[in-house]
Structure formats: C-alpha cells, structure tokens
Amino acid sequence: MFGTYLRRELLGRRKQTVIIAIGMALAIALVIVVQAVSAGVKDAQSAVLSSVYGVGTDITVSSTPTPPEEGEPGGGPGSFEFGADDGTATEDGGSAVSQSRLSAGRGASTFDAGSLATVQGVENVAAATATLSLTNTTFDGELPDFSQGELPAEGGTPPDGGGSSFDVNSCTVLGLDPSGDSVGPLSAVTLDEGRGLDGDDEGAFVAVLDSAYATSADLAVGDTIDVGGTDFEVVGTVSSSSSDATTASNVYIPLDVAQSVAGLDDQVSTISVQAASSTDIAQVQADIESELPEATVSTQDDLASSVSGSLASASGVVSGLGFWLSLLVLLAAFLIAVLFTISGVTRRTQEFGTLKAIGWSNSRIVGQVAGESTVQALIGGAIGVVVGLGAVLALNLAGITLGASTAATTAGPMDGAPGGFGRQADAVAATTDVVLNAPFSPLVILLAAGIAIAGGLLAGAVGGWRAARLRPAEALRSVS
C-alpha cells in the first residue's frame, strides 16, 4: 500500500515533485561547490606557506619587526656611501662604482641564535632549524666628476661635464643550516641541477639558486655570484616541489657564512619547528611562548592570515559570502519543500479523511507523507550532486589562477630618490601565482544525501502532522 500511494503521488503531482527537486538540487549543488572551493583555497594557502616555511613546518618562531629609531643613520639594504677615492675613472672624468651590501633590512628584526637550542629542548619538538633572511642589494653605475665645478642646487641640474647613470638591483638571500633539510625552506624544494647544500658546506662560500632567478640572472652551476661583496660559487639550482608556488628565496647560502658577511654574528630571523604529532602543535606552541616570551610563535593556521592577494580575497568570499549564501539557499529549499508539501496535503483532504475513516492511524499517514517528501528530496539531491560535481570539474578545467603574496621586508626606493639611489626597507610581498584546484571528497555525496533526507523529513513531518489532524468527518463534508 505504501509503495502504491508513493508511486501514484510522485507521478500524479509531477509539478510539485519537479519544483521541490529543483530547489533541493540547487541548494545541494551550491553546498558542494562552496565546500570544494573552500578546500581548494585552503590547499592553495598550504602550498604557498610550504614553499616559504617548508614542508612539515608546523610552527615558526620569529621576532616582531621594529621600525628604525628617529635619526638613525643609513645602513639598511642599499644605503650606499662612496669615498672620494672609490671607483674607477672613466673617459668622461666620472667614476665607475660598484658595491654590494647584504643586510637584514631596515626595520627587520633578528634575535639570538641561541634560541634554537631552547626550542629544540621543548617537549615533542621533532625537528627545528634556524634561518636568516637577508636582502642583497647591488649598486652599479657611473658618478659625474663634480671636483671642477659647484654641486647643483637642490632641485637643479648637474653642471657641464656629464650626468650620472646607475642601477640598483636586489635579491633575497637565505642563510640556513646546510644539514638541516628535514624541516624549513629547503625541505620544500626539488634539485634541478648540481647539488644542494650539505653538512660539509659549513663555512664555505657556496650558493644554491632558485632556478627561475638563475635563469633571469643568466647564472648556472659553476658560475659565481656576488653576495655582500663576496663571490660565492653556484653549486646547484632548485625549484619548488609544488608546481603552484615558488621557492622561499632567490639565493641559499650556509647560515654561518650569511651571518659573517652580513655582520650579524649569532643572529637568526626565523626558527622552523616540526612537532612530533599534529596533536602536539598546541602544546609545543604554548611551551615555546613560555620559554621565549618576547618571540612571535605562529602555527600554519596563524600564518595563513599573512597570505594576501586574490587568494586571500577568494578565502574571504568562500568563508563569508559563500557560507551564508549556501545557508540561505538551503533554508529556501527547505521552506519550498515544506510549503509545497503542506499545499499538497490540503488538496488531499478527502483522501486522508477517507483513509482515517477506514482505519489508517496517524503515524501511518505521517509516514506516508514523509516518505513521499523524502523521495522528492532525494531526487533533488541526486540531481544536485551531478550538477555540483559538474561545476567543480568546470572550475578545475578553467585553471583559475589566484595571486598569492606572503609578507616580507625588502628594499625599495626612497621617496624622491632617482633610480632607487639610497633605498629604504619597504614592507612588500613575495608574490606567486597559484592554480585553484577544488578537490572532491566522497564524503560530499554522504553530506548531500544527509541534507536531502533532512529536508525531506522536515517537509514530511510538517505536512504529515497537518494531515494527521484531519478527521473523517472533514472528508465527508468535502465530498458533499
């Protein structure tokens, strides 16, 4: 009897079935798309963070950057000073000068390298390594000879005898423990040519370059690169192990050499930490904060907030607008199902009154209405799954690229300084493009089925309750 009534109602009330199914399908498809995009954005953030901080890096320890004090003299990256005898004379009476400086950058902060031992002593720390983030700024150009004439007034032009032309270029340099590749930036790279850094490279003037940077700088394995006025032999090139992100730096050199060349002995800028287990991350973070109260201790979730650009915008849309839009559409689908079920029950007053007159119980009537409503919702759920998966597939095939940036401090031109001469540290971002890949989980089908069943049961319960209130006498009155 249940199956007979169920089949008859679904076939006889096609319009109601189609409307309820469409509403439920749209709601479930939207939920699937939002869930998949949310997971894709989260994976993209992890890829960007892994390229910067390293695969397996659960926690980073750093020092809060401090602005330069008022009246502080130059000394940031790219702040150059030349003496009267510096440079090589040129044919037009000027001087060809070249200078390279390696620095942590004005406003950037470093801290005692001894903190690494403190972190390694914390319970449940599986691995930890320290790095020193630097900027190498190189000045190359020609300065005019002002010895035979007066210097130009402020805002004026140089006297006859030639002008000046120069270039200021910079690249990022990362000093790290050559043997510490289990955690940190080098754990997120793939060797392309040559070799990587190893324990025997401590104290050696060797460098590993990011492949993209090596290509742009026309450098290869066996060449030399000027870092801080010192020549380093290029022994290898690397690229990010993730196809969606770049490596953390342009140049990698041994930590002790980086400290020496930059004049930052026993100083580091970041400590990368790997916890023994994901369940230990909170405990390790709390213990490090207790041991190093002046340090900034961040987990991957904390660091995700530092990712900006269109990736951050996408994350905000998914977590904000996407969630509420899905919720509103879902509520609307439930409401449509309830209203149409109630409307159908009202039109079937005679039928339900007659069924009660021949002995149908209230629970049986409620079960009949709930069953019909649930089947309608499941039809909509099946359609929603197909539509949702199709939309996710279309998004992945579209290859949507998101711009991702991670905060960094590097050198930028001072206001009003031509060509970048006399540069100051700017808070800029290391930008990379990440292709959005929205994953699909089989659990989504279970989620869709659960939503459909919940919507059907809700509509059926309300409609069945209304049908169960009918009395046999009402059926007789409706007939007359």
User: Look-up: residue for tokens 């030349």?
Assistant: 82
pLDDT, average across residues 54-71: 67
Cα(229)–Cα(227) distance, integer angstroms: 5
How does strand 251-254 pair with strand 165-176? parallel
Q: Give the Cα separation of 229 and 66 in Å (integer).
A: 26
> In whole angstroms, what is the distance from residue 103 CA to residue 111 CA?
14
Q: How far is CA 447 from CA 218, 219, 384, 391, 453, in A?
A: 53, 53, 11, 17, 10
- Secondary structure (H, E, C), the chain: CHHHHHHHHHHHCHHHHHHHHHHHHHHHHHHHHHHHHHHHHHHHHHHHHHHHHCCCCCEEEECCCCCCCCCCCCCCCCCCCCCCCCCEECCCCCEEEEEEEEECCCCCCCEECCHHHHHHCCCCEEEEEEEEEEEEEEEEEEECCCCCCCCCCCCCCCCCCCCCEEEEEEEEEEEECCCCCCCCHHHHEEEEEECCCCHHHCCCCEEEEEHHHHHHCCCCCCCEEEECCEEEEEEEEEEECCCCCCCCCCEEEEHHHHHHHHCCCCEECEEEEEECCHHHHHHHHHHHHHHCCCCEEEEHHHHHCCEECHHHHHHHHHHHHHHHHHHHHHHHHHHHHHHHHHHHHHHCHHHHHHHHHCCCCHHHHHHHHHHHHHHHHHHHHHHHHHHHHHHHHHHHHHCCEEEEEEEEEEEEECCCCHHHCCEEEEEEEEEEEEECCCCCCCHHHHHHHHHHHHHHHHHHHHHHHHHHCCCHHHHHHHHC
Higher pLDDT among residues 238 and 360, named by residue: 238
pLDDT (0 to 100) of residue 231: 93
CA angle 186, 59, 187 (to 5 degrees): 15
Amino acid present at 284? V
Q: What is the dihedral of CA 220, 222, 226, 228, to 10 degrees?
A: 110
Q: What residues does 431 pair with on adjacent strands?
A: 405
Question: How high does pLDDT run on average in the chain?
Answer: 74
- Choice among 95-109, 116-130, 289-303, 420-434 with the minimum mean pLDDT: 420-434
Provide Rg for the chain, Cα atoms: 34
Average pLDDT of 323-341? Answer: 75
Please state the pTM of the whole predicted model.
0.56
Give the pLDDT band of residue 351 (cuts 50, 70, 90): confident
**Amino acid at position 426, single letter:** D
Q: What is the pLDDT of residues 183-236, one digit of tens each?
A: 777 777 788 999 988 888 999 999 999 998 999 999 999 999 999 889 999 999
Q: Is the pLDDT of residue 292 over 70?
A: yes
Please classify residue 279 by burial: count the beta carbons closer than 10 Å to its beta carbon, then call 0-12 exposed, 13-18 middle and 19+ buried: exposed
Q: How confident is the model at residue 71 (pLDDT cuts 50, 70, 90)?
A: very low
pLDDT given at position 215: 92
Grade residue 30 by pLDDT with cuts at 50, 70 and 90: confident
Query: pLDDT higher for 476 or 382?
Result: 382
Distance CA 462, CA 445 (A): 26
Sorted by sequence, the CB contacts under 8 Å of residue 48 that are 6+ apart come out as 244, 245, 307, 311, 404, 406, 432, 434
